[in-house]
A and B are shown apart, each in its own frame.
Chain A
Amino acid sequence: MNRLTRRIFLIFALLTASLAQAQLSIEITGAGANRIPVAIPDMAGDSAAARAISATVRSDLDRSGLFKVIDPVGVTMDENTAVNYGDWKGRGADALAAGSVSRAADGRMEARFRLYDTVKGVSLGGAAYVTNTEQLRAAGHRIADYIYEKLTGEKGIFSTRIAYVVKARGQFLLQIADADGQSAATALSSSEPIISPAWSPDGSKLAYVSFEKKKPMIYVHSLASGQRVIVANFKGSNSAPAWSPDGRKLAVVLSKDGNSQIYTINADGSGLQRITNSSGIDTEPRFSPDGSSLYFTSDRGGSPQIYQVGVNGGDARRVTFEGSYNVSPRPSPDGKTLAFISRREGRFQLTTLDLASRQVQVLTDSHKDESPSFAPNSRMILIATEIGGRGVLSAVSSDGRIKQRLSVAAGDVREPAWAPYLN
């Protein structure tokens, strides 16, 4: 890339950055012209369960930033009620979901619903989900996913989970919660730091770095059994685990020969293979979605920048050029975008690179963004950031328009990792 095109890209990046900020302020004033208005009346049947599910559906769709939820307070409607399309259009709704909750013979709860296009006056389909009474919110998430997919054409992420680390009262907790931050459960408690959690592609395990033995080592933790295996405990530091798309290998960073360098290792700790060979720092490897290459951070050119190398090593190609600090590369699951953290005038900000057009966009105006993680549908990016001196998580849409915030009452939240879809 010559200097002129680089400069054009820089100008473009700055322009899109200010655009993104302007779009955010529109979001805050609530204009939301592009939001799909969807009415969610209360579901019929068991009233406590119906209220819980309806509330989850409304909150999911609202939080996504893509819908304007219309709650016709006091109206209850089941999936068999005849729909007066004109009436719902009159209330401003382009879509309507109605349903009911009942107790099945085995004691579990069954939620049924139907989705309507009130403009065309047609049903868009429906479904039934059976859950335990403790998991009513899960039924709500699945209904919201159904509505999201039918109305946007993309798969929803309301039923997915996230992992993150909470630091509170000197303790480090590796927690897993629903994508909306609810139903948090602790997978690991430690008095030493835990960083870099990474989900296995099947969502059953987390690889992470724990300092519990006074130095960083890489563990693979099976969530259902709580079984933990140390996969990298070499001399020096062991860090930055990343799963290969087939779940058989991990890319890791080891300093056993001096500097931090990238290796691959089988998930059981066998078959170590060195990938990079530089005299500087090579770290933060991530597999491309097709598994053929690794993105990583290196200071081989004098400042930390993002590079790409084949999974078996060889020559690396530089990917980022603007600025003196570009780190934490994360390719989107659809392979179209690279998210990373860029330092601009001393501020660390979530940035994306469109891999086809090479267009760079700064998505936030914060000062301490870290550890981006894509949602499995590539539409949202979860980051750790700092607000008022506290560590919080922020979910930002990949166009920078929609922002959500997740925080805990008395502690710092950091190191987010969005789980894959469970099949």
Chain B
Amino acid sequence: MKKLLIPALLSALIVGCSTTPVPEDGGAPVESRDGNKNGAITPVDVTRLDASGLPRELTDPKSKLAQRSIYFDLDKYDVKDEYKDLVAAHAKYLVANKGFKVLIQGNTDERGSREYNLSLGQKRAEAVKRSLSLLGVKEDQIESVSLGEEKPKNSEHDEAAWAENRRADILYKAPDGRGEF
């Protein structure tokens, strides 16, 4: 829970700095003395946050949790064994950080009906959602939607492009509402 407070504290600090007027008599603001009446210090650790204040665990390209894509076979919507570890890692993070939410976007290749593909993408997103739920992630932390064939990552028209586009992506939303990253 402590970790969740950090971005909120940070943004409170930033807001404080930019808006607190400097008193004309040059004296320190009364509030700051009040706030530290008992000499209490709340430690702030920003080593776990990136430049924009988001957890490095999620944004560092070297982190497992920076891997967000799960690929599917043609016309299929089952999560393949090779992605079980990745899904488990995301589940673990979401269980430990209940303030974070994920949006799962299902995608398909360009062949066939756009509306049918929208439903197929939904099935893929739903399959990832179900895997996360089974590992303890709360229902209200996950929304699964479909982009169908409408937002291809690779806009070529060959087998390699199609394989890249048959995919579900996991997008995070921070407790302060920032997302999707």
Contact = CB atoms under 8 A, between A and B. Distances in A.
A283 B116 CA distance: 7
B113 A281 contact: no
B145 A236 contact: yes
- A interface, by DSSP: helix, strand, loop or mixed? strand
Nearest to B113: A327
Interface stretch (B21-29, B47-55, B65-73, B118-126): B118-126
A352 interface: no
B114 interface: yes
B157 A216 contact: no
A253 B146 contact: no
Among B105, B113, B116, B151, which residue has the most Cβ atoms of chain A within 10 A? B113
A328 interface: yes
Interface in B96-125: 103, 105, 111-116, 118-123
A237 B103 CA distance: 12
B143 interface: yes
A237 B118 contact: yes
A371 to B, nearest CB: 7
Interface in A237-282: 237, 239-240, 253, 255, 258-260, 281-282
Interface residues of A, number: 35
Contacts of A258: 126
A211 interface: yes
A215 B146 CA distance: 7
Given A216-B145, A236-B145, A348 B114 contact: no
B118 to A, nearest CB: 5
A281 B120 contact: yes
A3 interface: no
Interface in B133-181: 143-148, 150-151, 157, 180
B111 A348 contact: yes
A281 B123 contact: yes
A327 B105 CA distance: 23
Nearest to A369: B113
Nearest to B171: A214
Contacts of A239: 115, 118-119
A415 B117 CA distance: 14
A195 B115 contact: yes
A284 B150 contact: no
A216 B116 contact: no
B145 A195 contact: no
Which of A193, A196, A260, A284 has most B Cβ within 10 Å?
Answer: A260
Interface in A167-201: 193, 195-196
A389 interface: yes
Contact of A215 (B115, B126, B145, B157): B145
A195 B114 contact: yes
A382 B177 CA distance: 44
Contacts of B148: 195, 216
A336 interface: no
Contact of B145 (A237, A297, A341, A415): A237
A325 interface: yes
A282 B115 CA distance: 10
A103 interface: no
B151 A193 contact: yes
A235 interface: yes
30 contacts: A193-B147, A193-B150, A195-B114, A211-B150, A214-B103, A214-B145, A214-B180, A215-B105, A215-B147, A216-B146, A216-B147, A236-B143, A236-B145, A237-B122, A240-B118, A253-B115, A253-B118, A255-B146, A258-B126, A259-B126, A281-B116, A281-B119, A282-B119, A283-B118, A284-B115, A304-B116, A325-B112, A341-B112, A341-B113, A343-B112
Interface of A: 193, 195-196, 209, 211, 214-216, 235-237, 239-240, 253, 255, 258-260, 281-284, 297, 304, 325, 327-328, 341, 343, 348, 368, 370-371, 389, 415
Interface of B: 103, 105, 111-116, 118-123, 126, 143-148, 150-151, 157, 180
